[in-house]
Every structure is written in C-alpha cells, then in structure tokens.
Amino acid sequence: MAPSPPKTGPFPEEPGILEFLRICDGFYPPDAVNAPIEQQRAWYDALCARFDRALPQGLTFQDGMLFAPIRRYRPGDIRTGTVLLYLHGGGFVVGSLQSHHAICAEIADFAGAELVSVDYRLAPEHVWPAQTDDCFAVLKQLLGQGKKVVVIGDSAGGNLAAGLALRARDEGLAGITGQVLIYPALGGDLVSGSYTEMAEAPGLTTADVAYYRAILKAPADEPVAHPLLSADLSGLPPTYVTVAHFDPLRDDGRMYAERLRTAGADVTFREEPQMVHAWLRARHMSDGAREGFQALCQAVRRFATSSRAE
C-alpha cells in the first residue's frame, strides 16, 4: 500500500520518489530501529536486494582483505590510476559489501577507476572507533602503495569519509584528491534547522539519527566522529557534498560545505530538491535521483582524473 503523505510535516511530490518510498515501506518499516539488530539487518538486506541491478558490461569484482574485508571493482575501461574508496551507509548498524554492490559498480564504471568498498565493523557489536579505524587502515595501505585516492561515502559512510580526510590531514598523509559526501551525518545539534524542519521526514527521522548516534557511542566532543565540531577545516581536499531536501541531515552537509569554503577548500554543494534520505537507491526510477547520481558520478570522475590525481 502506498504511503499517505502526513497531514503535517514534509513530503516530496515527485512520482518516482513516492514510488521508491512505497517500495521501501514494504521492506523496511518506518519504526525499524525499534526491532532487534538482526531483524533490522534482515530487513535492510532484503530492501537492498530489491533494488539490485545488473553490473555494467565488462566490469569485474573480487573480494579480499586489506586489513578489513574489501571488494575491488575493476571497470572494463580503466582510465585513471586513482582508486575510489567507498564507505557504505546504514547508520553504522546495517549494510555490507553487498548492500551497495550495484551502486559501487556503477560509480566505478562511470569514473573509469578501480573502486575499493570496505566492509567495516558494525555497531553495536563494535562501537566507535572500530569503524573509522577499519576504513583508515585501508586508506593508509592504498596511500602506502603510492595510490591517489578519492574517498566517497553515503550517510554514515559520508561521516566516515569526512573523518578520514581529517585524520589523513592531521597525520600528514598526502594523496587524497577529493572527498564525495552523500547526505552525510556530520554531527549537527539534532535540535535546530533541518533536524526540526525535517524531524519526521520519510526514510529517516531525527529520532533515527539520535538512535544511530547513541548506538555508535562515539565521544560527543570528537571531531573525527562529528566533523562539524572540527575547529580547523583548512588543508582538506576538493569536496563534493550532495544532500536531500527532505532529510534531517540536510543542514549537516550544507553547513559543512559552507565551513569548508570559508576555510579555502574547493567545494561543490548540491541540494536535491525532491529527494529523501537514501535516494541513491532510486537512481533508476526517479528523475531527481537519476540527475543527482549523474552529478555525483561526474564529481567522482573529475576528482579521479584531476591534475592532483596524476
């Protein structure tokens, strides 16, 4: 049954994204965070499988270990030696190499670059900093091999990607040629701006964001876990930030982009006016999601083939 727009509160109008929400509600209940962890993961896996796609022609992939479990994607036509490092979303609780399989394959194919996806440890079995440590260990090995890297992440993965860029800068590691943050969770205050305006947005609520923060158990004053708390955003790589209008996390990305720009970074910010959280999965059924995905793929390709990457 299709979801009925709430009598009060935000709701998009684009038919494609409404159909996407209808399908999502059939697999992943709006109150999923109240269920046991294993049930949440089962629901999420089923939802991801529903939106699975055939991989681009000529692209191959292989699972392996690079400190953490990873999956490497190699397009049939590789046009750059830069590696894309993808960190999946899922609130640090759900998600895996498989959950973002087709998304990673399509980004790699569009950019003509090898992509490495990380199967970092999940909460609540593993609390912070296990997730950032796993991803940073993979990043350091890639950089240690002389690779240039573009870090990419959606939602919780966007948080991890931003944190990795901060950690790499602070440890003097060179080689990140760009960061792509897709509706990232960056540590906003939960009580103002989009956290209030979009508190009951479809797909993700402010209460859900609070739940995921609580289960991760990251220190409240830790900038790597909450990049908006960072006192210094200078020296960070070129950045592309895309957010969904109907998303409590919207202003996290907006404020981070503004602060990066003030600090002198090369920043592109894009707000998708009819999108909801997790719109990447709607890229083949929603015009807005299709356009947003095309734009972020172009940003990835630009960072992977820029003069900094060569």
Catalytic sites, residue numbers: 155, 247, 277
What is the spatial order of strands in the sheet that 83-87 belongs to? 60-66, 68-74, 115-118, 83-87, 149-154, 176-182, 239-246, 267-276
The Cβ of residue 194 has, within 10 Å, a number of other Cβ atoms equal to 24
User: Identity (one letter) of the amino acid at 217?
Assistant: K
Q: Report residue 304 CA to chain centroid gap.
A: 18
Is residue 238 a contact partner of residue 306, using CB atoms and an 8 Å limit?
Answer: yes
Is residue 284 a contact partner of residue 95, using CB atoms and an 8 Å limit?
Answer: no
What's the CA gap between 40 and 102, in Å, rounded? 21
Tokens 């294993």 belong to 38
